[in-house]
């Protein structure tokens, strides 16, 4: 019998470790420690794991370091109907100050990468969900492969970037993706070809609870110097436009369809520089909220609400957040 089946699901109500400590919770903790070959943290402040540096404790934050362990954790949590969310590098994530009741599964420690020749001109790059985009950009450039330069400076992992259909400078992940591998609740992995996937602006539609375990990208042989020059150019543009001196989560809001960019609207309404607690709307780029001084998630959420209200009131536009907000107040 697999380890996790030792915990009977019947009558198990997950209430959060910090709220109520039961024997079952202890068993659950021990089981998680046993089946996750990697790091397992309990009551872990998420401010340590998000680029915004805010967020209360997650009941459990687990780092399975292989697909077998990931499958077991996935099955255990589903068996117990315990809430969970897969995460990557936490660069598009705001965890509320009350933390997250359930388990956050970080894919950061699942990270192999390989190249496969596809005829004379193309190469497929297979990367596990935990691989950093920056690693792919560097590897591709080093091998004179073009197609991933637009990702230079995006601080996410493959899993987070594919889920978000991350993009910059007019190109999105969907333009480079050849296939995506998804783990379902039974721990089975299915490879989906690009044409079967439903990508849209900052989103890949996946079934509830599916976890992205790997993606492949189609790259084309190019000229190393040109690829490296483009990366240098992009990094220069980022430095010039983005307020990278403070902790942040990139663009807070999606750009409204067919209209003016969210940052420009915020600028035109005179909201740049507005500060609540330790969080401030950047003076340099209106779509960035910065953690300028020990901000709480609540400060950031107050600013987000204020911006949304003003933009609705004065422009009649409902801004949607690009950052994912999880947890409880
Ligand atoms: C300085 C800065 C610059 C940025 N620039 C850009 C930019 O130019 N373009 C852009 O698009 N974004 C940008 N971002 C935002 C962010 O880096 C991207 O969205 C990135 O792709 C998120 O990856 P992550 O690994 O950090 O994901 P996380 O923040 O950890 O997660 C993001 C979402 O993906 C889900 N997720 C993560 N991993 C998986 C998985 N394996 N399976 C299923 N779901 C998963 C999470 O549940 C969450 O909903 C920027 C952020 C910063 C801080």
pLDDT of 317 > 50? The answer is yes
202 classed as catalytic = yes
Q: In whole angstroms, how far apart are CA 162 and each of 57, 67, 177, 278?
A: 26, 18, 8, 31
Q: Which atom of ligand 1 is nearest to the CA of 92?
A: 29
Rounded to whole angstroms, the Cα distance separating 267 from 269 reads: 5
pLDDT of 283 > 90? The answer is yes
- The residue whose CB lies within 8 Å of the most ligand 1 atoms, and thus the one to mutate among 94, 153, 164, 241, is 164
**Total domains present in the chain:** 3
Q: Which atom of ligand 1 is nearest to the CA of 248?
A: 53
* Structural domain harbouring 277: 262-326
pLDDT reported for residue 1? 45
* CA 246 and chain centroid, separation: 19
pLDDT of 190 > 90? The answer is yes
Do residues 122 and 229 both lie within one domain?
yes
Query: Residue with the nearest Cα to atom 9 of ligand 1?
Result: 167
pLDDT of 14 > 70? The answer is no
Measure 120 CA to ligand 1 centroid, in angstroms. 33
**Does 250 fall in a domain?**
no
Q: What is the pLDDT of residues 75-99, one digit of tens each?
A: 988 888 889 999 999 999 999 999 9
pLDDT of 182 > 60? The answer is yes
pLDDT of 11 > 70? The answer is no
pLDDT reported for residue 8? 60
Measure 220 CA to ligand 1 centroid, in angstroms. 25
Structure-block tokens of residue 293: 């001084």
Do residues 117 and 237 both lie within one domain?
yes
**Does 200 fall in a domain?**
yes
**Does 61 fall in a domain?**
yes
- Which 8-state DSSP code applies to residue 206? -
Q: In whole angstroms, how far apart are CA 76 and each of 100, 218, 302?
A: 18, 35, 36
Do residues 317 and 214 both lie within one domain?
no
322 classed as catalytic = yes
Structure-block tokens of residue 224: 């190393």
Do residues 138 and 234 both lie within one domain?
yes
The CATH number assigned to the domain holding 140 equals 3.30.465.10
**Does 224 fall in a domain?**
yes
Do residues 25 and 124 both lie within one domain?
no
Asked if 63 and 39 touch (Cβ cutoff 8 Å), the reply is: yes
- Mean pLDDT lowest among 73-87, 231-245, 286-300: 73-87
Average pLDDT, rounded, for the chain: 93
- The residue whose CB lies within 8 Å of the most ligand 1 atoms, and thus the one to mutate among 85, 102, 160, 234, is 160
Instruction: From 177, 207, 241, give the residue that closes a domain.
Output: 241
| Longest CA–CA separation in the chain, Å | 62
**Does 254 fall in a domain?**
no
Instruction: For the chain, give the number of residues.
Output: 329
Ligand 1 is surrounded, with C-beta below 6 A, by 51, 85-93, 107, 129, 154-157, 159-161, 163-164, 166-168, 211-212, 244, 248-250, 324
pLDDT of 181 > 90? The answer is yes
pLDDT of 7 > 70? The answer is no
Query: Residue with the nearest Cα to atom 51 of ligand 1?
Result: 250
- The residue whose CB lies within 8 Å of the most ligand 1 atoms, and thus the one to mutate among 91, 192, 240, 247, is 91
Using the Cα atoms of residue 93, residue 97, residue 100 and residue 106 in order, give the sign of their dihedral: positive
pLDDT of 23 > 50? The answer is no
pLDDT reported for residue 208? 78
**Does 124 fall in a domain?**
yes
Q: What is the pLDDT of residues 254-266, one digit of tens each?
A: 999 878 999 999 9
pLDDT reported for residue 201? 96
Do residues 217 and 135 both lie within one domain?
yes
Asked if 129 and 88 touch (Cβ cutoff 8 Å), the reply is: yes
Measure 156 CA to ligand 1 centroid, in angstroms. 5
- The single residue listed with the structure tokens 């950031």 is 300
Query: Residue with the nearest Cα to atom 46 of ligand 1?
Result: 87
Query: Residue with the nearest Cα to atom 50 of ligand 1?
Result: 250
Rounded to whole angstroms, the Cα distance separating 328 from 317 reads: 27
Angle at Cα 20 formed by Cα 14 and Cα 23, nearest 5°? 75
Catalytic annotation, pick one of 47, 202, 214, 282: 202
Rounded to whole angstroms, the Cα distance separating 216 from 192 reads: 10
| Residue 227: its H or E element | helix 224-241
Instruction: From 80, 106, 132, give the residue that closes a domain.
Output: 106
Do residues 127 and 170 both lie within one domain?
yes
Instruction: From 106, 124, 145, give the residue that closes a domain.
Output: 106
Q: What mean pLDDT comes out for the span 2-21?
A: 55
44 classed as catalytic = no
pLDDT reported for residue 6? 61
Q: What mean pLDDT comes out for the span 38-61?
A: 95
Q: What is the pLDDT of residues 194-215, one digit of tens each?
A: 999 999 999 999 987 799 999 9
- Which 8-state DSSP code applies to residue 255? P
* CA 161 and chain centroid, separation: 6
Q: What mean pLDDT comes out for the span 23-31?
A: 76
Neighbours of 203 (CB within 10 A): 14
What residues contact residue 173 under an 8 Å CB cut-off, 6+ apart? 151, 161, 162, 164, 165, 166, 167, 199
**Rg of the Cα trace of the chain?**
21
pLDDT of 173 > 90? The answer is yes
**Burial class for 309, CB neighbours closer than 10 Å (0-12, 13-18, 19+):** exposed
| Residue 15: its H or E element | none
**Does 247 fall in a domain?**
no
pLDDT reported for residue 68? 94
Task: Give, rounded to a whole angstrom, the gap between the first and last alpha carbons of the chain.
Answer: 39
Percentage with pLDDT > 90 across the chain: 82
Measure 5 CA to ligand 1 centroid, in angstroms. 33
Structure-block tokens of residue 164: 């978000």
Q: Which atom of ligand 1 is nearest to the CA of 165?
A: 11
**Does 8 fall in a domain?**
yes
């Amino acid at each position: 019998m697999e380890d996790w089946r030792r915990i009977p699901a019947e009558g198990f109500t997950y209430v959060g470790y910090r709220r109520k400590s039961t024997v079952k919770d202890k068993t659950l903790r021990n089981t998680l420690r046993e089946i996750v070959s990697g790091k397992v943290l309990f009551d872990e402040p998420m401010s340590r794991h998000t680029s915004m540096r805010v967020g209360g404790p997650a009941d459990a934050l687990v780092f399975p370091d292989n697909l077998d362990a990931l499958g077991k954790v996935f099955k255990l949590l589903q068996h117990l109907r315990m809430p969970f969310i897969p995460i990557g590098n936490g660069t598009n994530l705001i965890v509320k100050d009350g933390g997250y009741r359930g388990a956050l599964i970080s894919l950061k420690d699942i990270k192999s990468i390989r190249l496969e020749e596809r005829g004379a001109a193309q190469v497929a790059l297979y990367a596990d969900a935990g691989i950093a985009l920056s690693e792919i950009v560097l590897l591709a450039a080093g091998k004179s492969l073009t197609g991933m330069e637009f990702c230079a400076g995006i601080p996410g992992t493959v899993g987070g970037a594919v889920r978000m259909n991350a993009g910059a400078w007019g190109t999105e992940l969907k333009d480079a993706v050849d296939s995506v591998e998804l783990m379902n609740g039974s721990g089975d992995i299915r490879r989906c070809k690009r044409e079967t996937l439903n990508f849209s602006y900052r989103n890949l539609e996946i079934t509830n609870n599916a976890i992205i375990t790997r993606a492949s990208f189609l790259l084309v042989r190019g000229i190393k110097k040109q690829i490296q020059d483009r990366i240098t150019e992009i990094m220069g543009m980022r430095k010039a436009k983005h307020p990278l001196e403070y902790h942040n989560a990139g663009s807070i809001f999606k750009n409204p369809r067919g209209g003016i960019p969210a940052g420009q609207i915020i600028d035109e309404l005179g909201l740049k520089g507005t500060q609540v607690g330790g969080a401030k709307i950047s003076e340099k780029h209106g779509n960035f909220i910065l953690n300028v001084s020990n901000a709480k998630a609540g400060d950031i959420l107050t600013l987000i609400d204020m911006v949304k209200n003003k933009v609705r009131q004065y422009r009649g536009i409902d801004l949607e957040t690009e950052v994912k907000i999880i947890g409880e107040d």
